[in-house]
């Protein structure tokens, strides 16, 4: 996952008068909260779009059947987000091209989510969705509280980067040498822990380090955290179901 973090440390001031950085000028605090609201607004649109696209895939048998019967389409959909991330990273400050690329990237991710959900029982998808919402809200609230108390989570960056590398290697090994449902449960638990920590890390960056014109890339980072957490929890629940 790409990260484009500026070495800027400015505080934020919420509607309740809370300042994350007491030494920051009031104007910077107001601007920071405006930036945060913009990022969460974009993130909300991405999640709604993902829900709509995934629902279309799940409830349209023709779409699901086509994707399942054409392996090349599954491969293309899997690598498409990685392809789109390159121009999105390069043009994330170029309006309106950044919004177009963000929309295409979100749809590409949504297709993958829809395929996974289509292959999973509805009750399990609902359980994963509820768990994801609970974790995201709890960790986000905690990070804002911790930031207001002066805590800093920038040290998580290198640790999480190593964690993602381990996940990638684990996934490659699992692809060529399947280790069974227990290993997939372990993979899901490890993934959920890493992306839960990423929510804290990226929220901390949102509060303190992103510059005001990096709202697209900040929303991409949080969006990927939420989606990966959802897919990780879904994998855990699917593994538990298969064991039963």
Alpha-carbon distances of 103 from 45, 77, 99, 152, rounded to whole Å: 10, 15, 6, 32
pLDDT tens digits, 167-193: 888 888 877 777 777 778 888 899 999
Q: Is 73 within the bounds of a domain?
A: yes
Confidence at residue 26, expressed as pLDDT on a 0 to 100 scale: 66
Q: Name the percent of the chain lying above pLDDT 70.
A: 88
pLDDT tens digits, 74-107: 788 888 888 998 899 888 888 889 899 999 999 9
The conformation of residue 177, written as its DSSP 8-state character, comes to S
Q: Is 45 within the bounds of a domain?
A: yes
**What number is the average pLDDT over the span 1-25?**
40
Q: Is 7 within the bounds of a domain?
A: no
Tokens 């023709």 sit on residue: 62
Q: Given a cut of 50, is residue 122 above it in pLDDT?
A: yes
Q: Is 50 within the bounds of a domain?
A: yes
Residue 118: which pLDDT band, with cuts at 50, 70 and 90?
A: confident
Domain count, the chain: 1
Q: Containing domain of residue 166, as a range?
A: 26-243
CA dist 23 and 195 (Å) reads 31
Confidence at residue 177, expressed as pLDDT on a 0 to 100 scale: 75
Q: Is 132 within the bounds of a domain?
A: yes
Say if residues 233 and 241 touch (Cβ distance below 8 Å): no
pLDDT-wise least confident of 61-70, 109-118, 158-167, 216-225: 61-70
Q: Is 21 within the bounds of a domain?
A: no
């Amino acid at each position: 996952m790409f990260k484009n973090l500026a070495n800027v440390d400015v505080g934020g001031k919420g509607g309740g008068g809370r300042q994350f950085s007491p030494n920051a000028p009031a104007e910077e605090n107001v601007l920071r909260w405006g930036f945060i609201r913009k990022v969460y607004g974009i993130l909300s649109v991405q999640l709604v779009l993902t829900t709509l696209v995934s629902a279309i895939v799940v409830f349209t048998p023709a779409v699901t059947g086509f994707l399942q019967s054409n392996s090349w389409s599954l491969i293309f959909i899997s690598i498409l987000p990685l392809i789109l991330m390159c121009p999105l990273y390069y043009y994330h400050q170029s309006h309106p091209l950044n919004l177009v690329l963000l929309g295409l990237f979100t749809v590409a991710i949504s297709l993958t989510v829809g395929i996974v959900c289509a292959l999973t029982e509805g009750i399990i998808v609902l359980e994963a969705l509820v768990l994801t919402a609970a974790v995201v809200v709890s960790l986000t609230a905690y990070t804002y509280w911790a930031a207001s108390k002066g805590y800093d989570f920038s040290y998580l960056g290198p640790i999480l980067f190593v964690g993602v590398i381990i996940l990638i290697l684990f996934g490659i090994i699992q692809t060529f040498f399947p280790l069974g449902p227990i290993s997939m449960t372990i993979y899901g638990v490890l993934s959920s822990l890493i992306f839960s920590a990423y929510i804290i890390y990226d929220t901390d960056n949102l509060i303190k380090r992103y510059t005001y014109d990096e709202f697209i890339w900040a929303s991409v980072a949080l969006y990927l955290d939420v989606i990966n957490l959802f897919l990780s929890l879904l994998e855990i629940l699917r593994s538990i179901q298969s064991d039963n």
